[in-house]
Structure 1
Amino acid sequence: MKRERALRPIFTRRALLLGAAEFAAFGALAARLYRMQVLQHGKYATLAKQNSVNERLLAPLRGLITDRHGAILAGNKQHWRALFMMIQTPDPASVIDRFAALISLSDAERRRIGRDISGKPRYIPVLLKDYLDWSEMARIEVHAIELPGVFVDVGASRVYPLGDATSHTIGYVARPTQVQAQANPVLALPGMRVGRAGVEQARDTVLRGSPGVVQTEVNAHGTVVRVLDRDNGTQGQTVQLTMDAGLQSLAAQKLAGQAGAAVMLDATNGEVLALASQPGFDPTLFDSGVPESVWKSWITDPKRPLNDRATAGLYAPGSTFKPNVALAALECGAITPETTFFCPGYLKLGNHTFYCWDHYGHGNVNVVSALQQSCDVFFYHTALVTGIDRIAAMGRRLGLIGRVGLDLPGVSEGFLPTRAWARGRHLVWTRGNTVIQGIGQGYTQVTPLGLATMTARIASGRAIGPHIARAVGTVAQPGSTAAHWPVLGLDDRHLAAVRQGMFEVVNTPLGTGWASRLTLPGVHMAGKTGTAQVHDETAAQEKSNFNDASLPWKFRPNAFFIAFAPVHAPRFAVAVVVEHGNEGASVSAPIAHDLITAALTRDLTAAPPGIIQSAPQAALPEAAPA
């Protein structure tokens, strides 16, 4: 008993210490719980929410490209696609393998996915499969539990309603390169495209828009349960062009089956109304990837459908160069409107004979009748008395060569030789070189756009510059009035003489373009035909006036025609080239005739019947949960 009484105080003290320790521990725990659940409720609620709610960026819709009336030339079409969020699984490779077992992936797609997984941040979605059909979507839905991070979303692809009729001018879009995506993470988003040619490339920055964001709820397996919120971002701005969809389609239609180009400008302000190059290609293929078989067919086609002939095609212009030679001679005083040269059908220079296209000769001709009948001998003499440097200077003044300012990439400047150029290349410039330059052969190289610009400047007397953007968003682009363009400063009498010669080309029986005169009452067109050889004829062929139409297609001359109308109040300027068309009068002139007739009989301030107007882009539907 005494021992028990002695131990009781010791036990009580231990129990008290143990109880105090337990109380302290539970008190600390309670305090911790109070702090976490009450004082720090907001912090941990946010962390919990982030555990089940994910946010990802969305590629914005690309801006529209329209013609002057609002007809869509480049728009967007919705489709379904499968995306993958790497951040929602520790083993992305196994998920990709399981996905590939369900949905067929080509070798190229597997390689692309591999590059994206290794090169993209984990918070950026990876495109697994574009353009899903309903059966593929169903398989993804059924096996969602096995595919953490995989979900079906709405994408948009680029469409071009006029197809190959605008393929070179409007251009196309394609996936960004790895370098571009690394430099700008927004470009790494699935569905982002960059412009690769034409207006798509020239206005790429304003067409891209700003990315949006989608907020989704996911379960413990990383599978999307529902979409909580979606902001599609800001669509790129609409770029309205000066082009007329009707005239562009007509130009492409008239060139169909041939290799060539047709350019129509508003001669009062330089607005591009049509800029056609044929053959063209399907620009929509670049969005998803051009099949190898199609690419091979393009690059092996002798008519080279990928080449933009309107702005980058370089040609010897033949007799369409003669108005430039005439103005150069008149302005420097080498000839006057009354000067005549005798054409016996040839010009002998040293031991070489330069023939006129008409071996019988044209007799005595002045600048007007020489243009009318396209007398080569007159322009042989005119080039000799003018000199190659003055001819080149006038070509630059008329916009035939040089930077004409068209707001498109890849526009060629053309080329006119000078004595300084020849000296720099250790070439001996002879009088014979000058002779053949006088009829647009030799080293001279111009584009159809340059020819149209020259024609517009001759018609207006102003330094008209071609431009194709009319408005970006709500901001009008400069150059829509004649007052924007300075006068050329050419003598009115000299311009009148050249215009008269071009008038007689089309409107008199002796004119080389008589067959393509306008049939509209009281309206006349002025023009100039041109035929440019693409290979050298032998002396015997030249002497015998050899018929080039009997040659194989690739050796036949190129056919040209330039024109403006109406003559007394010029509104439209046109240049047409048909490669290996043999004669401009019979091949290219009818195309220009039809384009000008269509333009003159329509009100270009209003859309013609049947034009599809652009409309606000419909909101994208919500993505289906995987």
Structure 2
Amino acid sequence: MRRTPRDSAESNRKITRRGLMLGGAQLAFGGALALRMRYMQVDQADEFRLLAEENRVNIHLIPPARGRIFDREGRVIAENEQTYRITMRREDAGDVEDVIGRLSALVELDRDEVERALEEMRTSPPFLQVTVADRVSWEAISRVAVNAPALPGVTPEVGLSRVYPQHETFAHVVGYVGPVSERDLERYEDPEPVLRIPRFQIGKVGIEAKFEDQLRGSAGAKRVEVNAVGRVMRELDRREGEAGGDLQLTLDSALQDYIKARLGEESASAVVMDLEHGDILAIASAPSYDPNKFVRGISVKDYGELRDNNHRPLASKTVQDAYPPGSTFKIVTALAALDAGLITPDETVYCPGYMEVGSRRFHCWKRAGHGHVNLENSLRDSCDVYYYDLALKVGIENIAAMGRKLGLGAAPEVPMSAVTAGLMPDKDWKRRERGAEWLIGDTVNASIGQGFVLTSPLQQAIMVARVATGRAVTPRLVRSVNGIETPSGGGEALDLSPSHLRYIRKAMFAVSNSRRGTAYRSRIIADNMRMAGKTGTSQVLNRVVRNQDVPWEERDHALFVNFAPYDAPRIAVSIVVEHGGGGSSVAAPIARDITLQALYGGDPPLDAYPTADRGRIKAQQERLERERRERAAELGRRA
């Protein structure tokens, strides 16, 4: 049917109207799009350029070089060494197990380390590099580099790691570093980003932990270009971090090494303090351990051997352990009685070999008794009954107050781990901690350093340092931090009578130099080096039995404290030999040898020793020198 002209005109009008509407809509949309594009490209150009840059460029932290640690003469105790390691990126490796299998054909891999790496790769982003082998040789790195096409995702790298070149010598003082753990992160309210770098090392114990903030330094950063999946394409620029500050300790490496050799296989500890500034010249626990094993990741077998050793090589005995001080504590009791004005040096007490207090009999170590003894003789002969008598006169409150004045009962402020305060008990302490009243028998026991009294070897050294100088000497272990010297520990004058201190020093001189003195056999002959000391034997079991008749762990501890030279004191020494037996027979000879080594700055002349000892001392010096050479050669091989 033909359309009429009218219908055609109407149809054309409709088409034109729709076309106009559609064109207008398209024009409006195009205009809006153009305006939006202009807004995004011109007005927001900077913002989108920044977003694009952030997607293209990543910032990676660069671990800082850790500060070094030196002894007082500038010898290195802890430093960083360049090490080679092999890392793997899961994203590039594809079949990780297959690549590790091919890698193990080229390089010897530790199975435990590989398992740890696999676990890290499973829990980390696929583009993160994970260490598969650490401290590998240059030859191993070369083999990996040559075979790189067959090892996708594997990269040989160079890094820094902590090393302790003197191995066991300073382990208990310096401690060691290790990778950051979740437990470490929990100690920080807002952990620094550098702490989250995989395998980043921080101090775990000892000075490494106590001076972590100063030693760590600040991280650097590098800008790297990455692709759409986060793979690093190239490095754009870098800013190196700031190395940590260096520490210089007060310790003398040569003396520390000598003490380690002199203590030998004993379970023992020794402290040597300089009396002018309170510098700790040596502080050694035996046996020791190699901290490098902890840095590299100690094996279960090696750790088990350390943990199960009954001589406790992991324990820092000088500050961590507290022992009954035995007769060395008689110095405190005597000074307390003098200070209270309750005795004079010439007053005597009769010792029949025991003293009855209430219904209990307290024995002297010499069952036949010492007869009439005064203050000097009581220390010289170590008469127990004299101090039982003093205990009844002085009382525990005066004894405890004197002990605290001499540095006992408070943790020394040294940057070592688990520093004990020991125990200087009194009536309030027993009531508070034991829920019981103090007894007279408790005071009698305390007067000779038994019962509840506990002291560490470092506290014992502080005690004798204060007696020798009359000053409140405090120990200083760190000499300077990044070149800035730390305050001296020389201390101010104690509120003690100089004449009372002279009486005690004179009595200590008799201990080592009078023929009846308990340490006479360990005396020093050289006139300008003579020492004054006090022996001590602390009971492990409260029974009358010879040490050689019981197992090692049930024997008495042997102690000795001294200062030297007597006329012009320079050093104080404290020795504890666990389960060593008698202080006079075991601890005193060690203390004498260490004292001479410290005073002479090396092996002393044989004429400094008693004639009867010179043959034995010469043989000992030759043996120790031979062991030092062998140890130095071993350290060279390890390095």
Q: Which has the higher contact order (CA 8 A, sep 6+)?
A: 1
1:233 to partner: Cα distance: 2.6
Amino acid at match of 2:439: T
Q: Which residue of 1 aligns with 2:301?
A: 293
Q: Which residue of 1 aligns with 2:394?
A: 386
Distance in structure 2 (CA, Å) of the matches to 1:477 and 1:120? 43
1:224 to partner: Cα distance: 8.2
1:184 pairs with one of 187, 192, 195: 192
| Distance change >3 Å, CA 187–CA 83, structure 1 → 2 | farther
Distance in structure 2 (CA, Å) of the matches to 1:588 and 1:142? 60
Amino acid at match of 1:378: Y
1:147 to partner: Cα distance: 5.3
**Equivalent position SS for 2:290:** coil
Q: Do residues 307 (structure 1) and 315 (structure 2) align?
A: yes
Distance in structure 2 (CA, Å) of the matches to 1:408 and 1:83? 35
Q: Which residue of 1 aligns with 2:85?
A: 81
The worse-fitting range, judged by mean Cα deviation, of 445-454 and 262-271 is 262-271
Q: Which residue of 2 aligns with 1:113?
A: 117
* Cα deviation digits, residues 494-548 of structure 1 (max 9, x gap): 11111111111111111111111113233221100011110121xxx3xxxx432
| Distance change >3 Å, CA 419–CA 384, structure 1 → 2 | same
Distance in structure 2 (CA, Å) of the matches to 1:121 and 1:208? 26
Contact 1:534 1:558 in 2 (8 A): yes
Q: Which residue of 2 aligns with 1:572?
A: 571
| Distance change >3 Å, CA 217–CA 479, structure 1 → 2 | same
Q: Which residue of 2 aligns with 1:325?
A: 333
**Equivalent position SS for 2:527:** coil
2:522 pairs with one of 510, 516, 538: 516
2:277 pairs with one of 269, 273, 276: 269
2:62 pairs with one of 55, 58, 65: 58
Distance in structure 1 (CA, Å) of the matches to 2:78 and 2:115? 30
Q: Which residue of 2 aligns with 1:550?
A: 549
Number of residue pairs the alignment of both structures matches: 558
Contact 1:82 1:127 in 2 (8 A): yes
Q: Which residue of 2 aligns with 1:13?
A: none
Q: Which residue of 2 aligns with 1:453?
A: 462
2:161 pairs with one of 157, 164, 178: 157
1:475 pairs with one of 484, 505, 514: 484
Distance in structure 2 (CA, Å) of the matches to 1:343 and 1:71? 53
* Cα deviation digits, residues 115-145 of structure 1 (max 9, x gap): 5446656776432321223454345334534
The worse-fitting range, judged by mean Cα deviation, of 438-447 and 419-428 is 419-428
Q: Which residue of 1 aligns with 2:204?
A: 196
* Cα deviation digits, residues 16-50 of structure 1 (max 9, x gap): xxxxxxxxxxxxxxxx9xxx9xxx9xx99998999
**Equivalent position SS for 1:339:** coil
1:231 to partner: Cα distance: 5.5
**Equivalent position SS for 1:506:** helix
Q: Which residue of 1 aligns with 2:511?
A: 505
Q: Which residue of 2 aligns with 1:234?
A: 242
Q: Which residue of 2 aligns with 1:9?
A: none
Amino acid at match of 2:554: F
Contact 1:436 1:442 in 2 (8 A): yes
TM-score (ref. length: structure 1): 0.81
**Equivalent position SS for 1:131:** strand
1:563 to partner: Cα distance: 0.3
Contact 2:65 2:217 in 1 (8 A): yes
Q: Which residue of 1 aligns with 2:101?
A: 101
The worse-fitting range, judged by mean Cα deviation, of 107-116 and 380-389 is 107-116
TM-score (ref. length: structure 2): 0.80
| Distance change >3 Å, CA 54–CA 351, structure 1 → 2 | closer
Contact 1:174 1:196 in 2 (8 A): yes
Q: Which residue of 2 aligns with 1:280?
A: 288
2:539 pairs with one of 533, 539, 543: 533
Distance in structure 1 (CA, Å) of the matches to 2:227 and 2:147? 15
Q: Do residues 496 (structure 1) and 496 (structure 2) align?
A: no
Amino acid at match of 2:101: A
Distance in structure 2 (CA, Å) of the matches to 1:269 and 1:394? 22
1:57 to partner: Cα distance: 2.7
**Equivalent position SS for 2:334:** helix
Q: Do residues 443 (structure 1) and 442 (structure 2) align?
A: no
| Distance change >3 Å, CA 99–CA 216, structure 1 → 2 | farther
| Distance change >3 Å, CA 345–CA 179, structure 1 → 2 | closer
Distance in structure 1 (CA, Å) of the matches to 2:150 and 2:229? 9
Distance in structure 2 (CA, Å) of the matches to 1:49 and 1:95? 30
Distance in structure 1 (CA, Å) of the matches to 2:522 and 2:95? 67
| Distance change >3 Å, CA 135–CA 568, structure 1 → 2 | closer
* Cα deviation digits, residues 259-306 of structure 1 (max 9, x gap): 010001112221111110011111111112110111111111111111
1:336 pairs with one of 332, 344, 364: 344
The worse-fitting range, judged by mean Cα deviation, of 228-237 and 443-452 is 228-237
Contact 1:266 1:273 in 2 (8 A): yes
Distance in structure 1 (CA, Å) of the matches to 2:55 and 2:429? 69
Contact 1:151 1:224 in 2 (8 A): no
Q: Which residue of 1 aligns with 2:585?
A: 586
Distance in structure 2 (CA, Å) of the matches to 1:129 and 1:222? 24
Distance in structure 2 (CA, Å) of the matches to 1:224 and 1:146? 20
Distance in structure 1 (CA, Å) of the matches to 2:100 and 2:450? 60
Distance in structure 1 (CA, Å) of the matches to 2:248 and 2:174? 11
1:486 pairs with one of 489, 492, 502: 492
| Distance change >3 Å, CA 588–CA 502, structure 1 → 2 | same
Distance in structure 2 (CA, Å) of the matches to 1:413 and 1:83? 46
2:380 pairs with one of 358, 367, 372: 372
Q: Which residue of 2 aligns with 1:249?
A: 257
1:156 to partner: Cα distance: 2.3
Q: Which residue of 2 aligns with 1:29?
A: none
Identical amino acids, percent of aligned pairs: 39
Q: Do residues 71 (structure 1) and 70 (structure 2) align?
A: no
The worse-fitting range, judged by mean Cα deviation, of 279-288 and 103-112 is 103-112
Unpaired segments ≥5 residues, structure 2: 1-36, 603-627, 630-639
* Cα deviation digits, residues 574-621 of structure 1 (max 9, x gap): 100001110111211122112221222139xxxxxx99xxxxxxxxxx
Amino acid at match of 1:433: D
1:229 to partner: Cα distance: 6.3
Distance in structure 2 (CA, Å) of the matches to 1:119 and 1:303? 40
Unpaired segments ≥5 residues, structure 1: 1-31, 604-609, 612-626
Distance in structure 2 (CA, Å) of the matches to 1:115 and 1:97? 12
Q: Which residue of 2 aligns with 1:173?
A: 177
Amino acid at match of 2:353: G
Amino acid at match of 1:283: P
1:60 to partner: Cα distance: 1.9
Q: Which residue of 2 aligns with 1:622?
A: none
| Distance change >3 Å, CA 122–CA 187, structure 1 → 2 | farther
Contact 1:125 1:189 in 2 (8 A): no
**Equivalent position SS for 1:57:** strand
Q: Which residue of 1 aligns with 2:144?
A: 140
Distance in structure 1 (CA, Å) of the matches to 2:243 and 2:143? 32
Amino acid at match of 1:69: E
Distance in structure 1 (CA, Å) of the matches to 2:237 and 2:148? 21
1:214 to partner: Cα distance: 5.3
Amino acid at match of 2:168: D
Contact 1:124 1:189 in 2 (8 A): no
1:351 to partner: Cα distance: 3.1
Q: Which residue of 1 aligns with 2:358?
A: 350
Distance in structure 2 (CA, Å) of the matches to 1:298 and 1:504? 41
Distance in structure 2 (CA, Å) of the matches to 1:80 and 1:265? 41
Q: Which residue of 2 aligns with 1:126?
A: 130
Amino acid at match of 1:102: R
Distance in structure 2 (CA, Å) of the matches to 1:98 and 1:330? 80
1:215 to partner: Cα distance: 6.5
